């Protein structure tokens, strides 16, 4: 089991490094490296939003919210995960028009409010990305340790190094290409797991019992999750890079809505598993 897990992990990492390295544009400049400006379709953006926003953490947090808060909490988390992409679809075209050569939300903060706020937004973005990556890698290690004899630290190190290699070489295009693959794999695995779970249901299942938390408290949790998750994710620099990567405003709007809708579905389904089980 140990060697099989290590081989599967190694093969997956090598595959994603390979497709990431191939994504680099020959002769591209720094702007192309950072933004892949005006090149991406709605489907690519939507799948990228889905994959970059929903990582290993969805196996832990939404089911826990579902188990302790119930459907209202899951709904709040699902909407919170989707709203940042809806905001990008709504505000992104205007920001593109104001800053056609922009690269990040910090540049918009400087243009609108001055250098001081730009530094403040940059500091918050760095802190947010530190927390985001720490949570992702921690979840990967925890899942690996839970499901296999392979030490979680090995998986964490492998994923971190592989991702660093292809993004350092290929820039945003490498991230977009690998995101597309990861999104389809995520959706396929979700369908597979749901199919297995459905087949494993007993012939006479127990009545469904929701958590006993009062409705008012559940609504408070849901609203808190919507505000907290949305506000935090709007400091995700990778999301804002994709605003300028869109081929045009229409593709950005459609991509944002696609990412939002698919995120709602995935988080809701995974979260309700926790409420159901």
Beta strand spans in the chain (E): none
Q: What is the mean pLDDT of residues 234-261?
A: 94
The pLDDT value recorded for residue 126 is 94
pLDDT above 70 (res 203): no
The pLDDT value recorded for residue 213 is 81
Neighbours of 116 (CB within 10 A): 10
What count of residues does the chain have?
277
Candidates 92, 47, 91, 76; CA nearest to 229 is: 76
CA distance 171 to 91: 24
CA distance 139 to 270: 15
118 pLDDT band, cuts 50/70/90, is: very high
CA distance 110 to 128: 19
Beta bridge partners of 246: 40
- pTM of this prediction? 0.90
pLDDT above 70 (res 253): yes
Range of the domain at 237: 2-276
As for how many domains the chain has, the answer is 1
**String of b and e for 127-151 (b: at least 16 CB within 10 Å)?**
ebeeebeeebbebbbbbbeeebebe
Question: How confident is the prediction for the chain on average, in pLDDT?
Answer: 89
The pLDDT value recorded for residue 5 is 84
């Amino acid at each position: 089991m140990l060697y099989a897990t290590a081989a599967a992990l190694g093969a997956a990492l090598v595959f994603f490094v390979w497709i990431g390295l191939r994504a680099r544009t020959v002769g591209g400049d720094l702007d192309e490296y950072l933004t892949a400006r005006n090149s991406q379709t709605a489907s690519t953006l939507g799948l990228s939003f889905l994959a970059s926003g929903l990582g290993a953490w969805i196996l832990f947090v939404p089911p826990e919210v579902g188990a302790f808060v119930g459907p209202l909490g899951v709904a709040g988390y699902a909407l919170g995960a989707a709203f940042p992409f809806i905001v990008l679809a709504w505000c992104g075209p205007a920001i593109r028009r104001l800053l056609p050569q922009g690269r990040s939300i910090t540049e918009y903060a400087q243009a609108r409010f001055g250098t001081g706020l730009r530094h403040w937004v940059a500091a918050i973005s760095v802190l947010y990305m530190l927390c985001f990556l720490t949570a992702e890698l921690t979840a990967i290690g925890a899942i690996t340790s839970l499901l296999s004899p392979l030490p979680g630290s090995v998986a964490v190190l492998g994923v971190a190094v592989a991702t660093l290699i292809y993004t350092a070489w290929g820039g945003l295009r490498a991230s977009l290409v690998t995101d597309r693959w990861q999104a389809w794999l995520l959706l396929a695995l979700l369908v597979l797991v749901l199919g297995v779970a459905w087949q494993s249901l007993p012939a006479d299942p127990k009545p469904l019992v929701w958590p006993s938390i009062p409705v008012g408290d559940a609504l408070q949790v849901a609203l808190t999750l919507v505000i907290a998750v949305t506000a935090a994710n709007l400091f995700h620099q990778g999301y804002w890079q994709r605003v300028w990567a869109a081929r045009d405003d229409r593709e950005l709007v459609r991509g944002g809505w696609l990412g939002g809708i698919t995120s709602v579905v995935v988080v809701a389904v995974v979260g309700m598993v926790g409420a159901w089980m």
